[in-house]
Protein backbone atom coordinates (compact mmCIF):
# COMPACT_ATOMS: atom_id res chain seq x y z
CA UNK A 1 0.00 0.00 0.00
CA UNK A 2 1.39 3.40 -0.92
CA UNK A 3 2.85 5.49 1.86
CA UNK A 4 0.25 8.19 1.10
CA UNK A 5 -2.63 5.78 1.72
CA UNK A 6 -0.86 4.39 4.76
CA UNK A 7 -0.57 7.94 6.09
CA UNK A 8 -4.27 8.54 5.45
CA UNK A 9 -5.20 5.43 7.38
CA UNK A 10 -3.02 6.51 10.29
CA UNK A 11 -4.62 9.96 10.32
CA UNK A 12 -8.09 8.40 10.20
CA UNK A 13 -7.42 6.77 13.56
CA UNK A 14 -7.77 10.18 15.24
CA UNK A 15 -10.22 12.03 13.01
CA UNK A 16 -12.35 11.81 9.90
CA UNK A 17 -10.51 12.32 6.66
CA UNK A 18 -10.67 15.75 5.03
CA UNK A 19 -12.36 15.92 1.61
CA UNK A 20 -9.04 16.07 -0.27
CA UNK A 21 -7.71 13.12 1.74
CA UNK A 22 -10.84 11.16 1.01
CA UNK A 23 -10.38 11.91 -2.71
CA UNK A 24 -6.86 10.45 -2.56
CA UNK A 25 -8.19 7.35 -0.85
CA UNK A 26 -10.96 7.01 -3.44
CA UNK A 27 -8.43 7.36 -6.25
CA UNK A 28 -6.36 4.57 -4.79
CA UNK A 29 -9.27 2.21 -4.19
CA UNK A 30 -11.01 2.94 -7.50
CA UNK A 31 -8.07 1.52 -9.44
CA UNK A 32 -7.46 -1.46 -7.17
CA UNK A 33 -9.68 -3.89 -9.10
CA UNK A 34 -7.94 -3.06 -12.39
CA UNK A 35 -4.48 -3.33 -10.82
CA UNK A 36 -5.43 -6.70 -9.34
CA UNK A 37 -6.52 -8.00 -12.77
CA UNK A 38 -3.23 -6.89 -14.31
CA UNK A 39 -1.26 -8.48 -11.48
CA UNK A 40 -3.08 -11.80 -11.93
CA UNK A 41 -2.60 -11.64 -15.70
CA UNK A 42 1.16 -11.15 -15.29
CA UNK A 43 1.42 -13.87 -12.67
CA UNK A 44 -0.51 -16.39 -14.75
CA UNK A 45 1.43 -15.65 -17.94
CA UNK A 46 4.96 -15.27 -16.65
CA UNK A 47 6.26 -18.20 -18.71
CA UNK A 48 4.43 -16.98 -21.83
CA UNK A 49 6.09 -13.59 -21.40
CA UNK A 50 9.64 -14.75 -20.71
CA UNK A 51 10.08 -17.90 -22.84
CA UNK A 52 10.19 -16.01 -26.17
CA UNK A 53 12.52 -13.45 -24.61
CA UNK A 54 14.89 -16.24 -23.52
CA UNK A 55 14.87 -17.71 -27.02
CA UNK A 56 15.71 -14.36 -28.62
CA UNK A 57 18.52 -13.78 -26.11
CA UNK A 58 20.14 -17.11 -26.97
CA UNK A 59 20.52 -16.05 -30.58
CA UNK A 60 21.48 -12.45 -29.78
CA UNK A 61 24.43 -13.25 -27.51
CA UNK A 62 27.39 -15.63 -27.80
CA UNK A 63 27.71 -18.91 -25.93
CA UNK A 64 30.38 -17.34 -23.73
CA UNK A 65 27.85 -14.77 -22.53
CA UNK A 66 25.09 -17.30 -21.79
CA UNK A 67 25.74 -17.58 -18.02
CA UNK A 68 25.40 -13.79 -17.70
CA UNK A 69 22.34 -13.86 -19.99
CA UNK A 70 20.69 -16.50 -17.80
CA UNK A 71 21.45 -14.58 -14.61
CA UNK A 72 20.22 -11.32 -16.13
CA UNK A 73 17.03 -13.00 -17.32
CA UNK A 74 16.44 -14.36 -13.80
CA UNK A 75 16.88 -10.83 -12.48
CA UNK A 76 14.32 -9.44 -14.92
CA UNK A 77 11.85 -12.13 -13.92
CA UNK A 78 12.37 -10.98 -10.33
CA UNK A 79 12.07 -7.34 -11.40
CA UNK A 80 8.83 -8.08 -13.24
CA UNK A 81 7.38 -9.77 -10.16
CA UNK A 82 8.31 -6.80 -8.01
CA UNK A 83 7.03 -4.31 -10.60
CA UNK A 84 3.72 -6.17 -10.58
CA UNK A 85 3.55 -6.08 -6.78
CA UNK A 86 4.54 -2.40 -6.65
CA UNK A 87 1.82 -1.67 -9.23
CA UNK A 88 -0.71 -3.62 -7.16
CA UNK A 89 0.31 -1.71 -4.03
CA UNK A 90 0.60 1.56 -5.98
CA UNK A 91 3.97 2.07 -4.31
CA UNK A 92 7.24 2.86 -6.10
CA UNK A 93 9.15 2.73 -2.82
CA UNK A 94 8.34 -0.97 -2.58
CA UNK A 95 10.15 -1.54 -5.86
CA UNK A 96 13.13 0.63 -4.95
CA UNK A 97 13.56 -0.86 -1.50
CA UNK A 98 13.07 -4.50 -2.42
CA UNK A 99 15.07 -5.03 -5.58
CA UNK A 100 16.40 -2.14 -7.63
CA UNK A 101 19.22 -0.82 -5.47
CA UNK A 102 20.61 -4.32 -5.04
CA UNK A 103 20.43 -5.19 -8.74
CA UNK A 104 22.08 -1.96 -9.86
CA UNK A 105 25.32 -3.19 -8.30
CA UNK A 106 25.05 -6.48 -10.17
CA UNK A 107 24.65 -4.76 -13.53
CA UNK A 108 27.72 -2.62 -12.88
CA UNK A 109 30.00 -5.36 -11.56
CA UNK A 110 29.05 -7.87 -14.27
CA UNK A 111 29.10 -5.24 -17.01
CA UNK A 112 25.91 -6.74 -18.35
CA UNK A 113 24.30 -3.49 -19.44
CA UNK A 114 23.94 -4.53 -23.11
CA UNK A 115 22.22 -7.75 -22.05
CA UNK A 116 20.01 -5.98 -19.51
CA UNK A 117 19.04 -3.37 -22.10
CA UNK A 118 18.10 -6.06 -24.62
CA UNK A 119 15.99 -7.89 -22.03
CA UNK A 120 14.21 -4.66 -21.12
CA UNK A 121 13.46 -3.90 -24.78
CA UNK A 122 12.16 -7.42 -25.43
CA UNK A 123 10.09 -7.37 -22.23
CA UNK A 124 8.61 -3.98 -23.06
CA UNK A 125 7.66 -5.20 -26.53
CA UNK A 126 6.13 -8.43 -25.24
CA UNK A 127 4.09 -6.62 -22.60
CA UNK A 128 2.82 -4.09 -25.13
CA UNK A 129 1.79 -7.03 -27.32
CA UNK A 130 -0.05 -8.82 -24.49
CA UNK A 131 -1.54 -5.98 -22.44
CA UNK A 132 -3.99 -3.31 -23.46
CA UNK A 133 -2.69 0.28 -23.62
CA UNK A 134 -4.78 1.05 -20.53
CA UNK A 135 -3.19 -1.82 -18.60
CA UNK A 136 0.28 -0.70 -19.71
CA UNK A 137 -0.37 2.71 -18.18
CA UNK A 138 -0.61 1.10 -14.74
CA UNK A 139 2.63 -0.83 -15.20
CA UNK A 140 4.87 1.45 -17.24
CA UNK A 141 5.97 3.76 -14.41
CA UNK A 142 7.38 0.78 -12.53
CA UNK A 143 9.13 -0.64 -15.60
CA UNK A 144 10.54 2.80 -16.39
CA UNK A 145 11.80 3.11 -12.83
CA UNK A 146 13.56 -0.25 -13.19
CA UNK A 147 15.05 0.83 -16.51
CA UNK A 148 16.23 4.18 -15.15
CA UNK A 149 17.70 2.65 -12.02
CA UNK A 150 19.49 -0.25 -13.70
CA UNK A 151 20.40 1.01 -17.13
CA UNK A 152 20.69 4.79 -17.14
CA UNK A 153 22.59 5.57 -13.94
CA UNK A 154 26.32 5.79 -14.26
CA UNK A 155 27.09 6.82 -10.65
Per residue in 31-45, pLDDT (tens digit) is: 999 999 999 999 999
Q: What is the pTM of this model?
A: 0.84
Locate the DSSP E strands across 54-129. Answer: none
Using CA atoms, how far apart are residues 19 and 119, in angstroms rounded to an integer?
44
Report if residue 3 sits inside a domain.
no
Look at 17-26, 82-91, 114-123 and tell me which has the smallest mean pLDDT. 17-26
The pLDDT, as a whole number, for residue 107 is 64
Report if residue 23 sits inside a domain.
no
Using CA atoms, how far apart are residues 24 and 100, in angstroms rounded to an integer?
27
Domain range spanning residue 56? 33-149
**CATH number for the domain including 130?**
1.10.490.20
The structural domain count of the chain equals 1
Residue predicted with more confidence, 149 or 50: 50
The pLDDT, as a whole number, for residue 14 is 82
56-81 pLDDT, tens digit each: 999 999 887 889 899 999 999 999 99
Q: What is the mean pLDDT of residues 137-151?
A: 92
Amino acid sequence: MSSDVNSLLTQAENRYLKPEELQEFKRHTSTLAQRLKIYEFLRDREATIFEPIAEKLQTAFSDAQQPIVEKSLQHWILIMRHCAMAMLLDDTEYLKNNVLDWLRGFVKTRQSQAIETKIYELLQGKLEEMLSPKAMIYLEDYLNLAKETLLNHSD
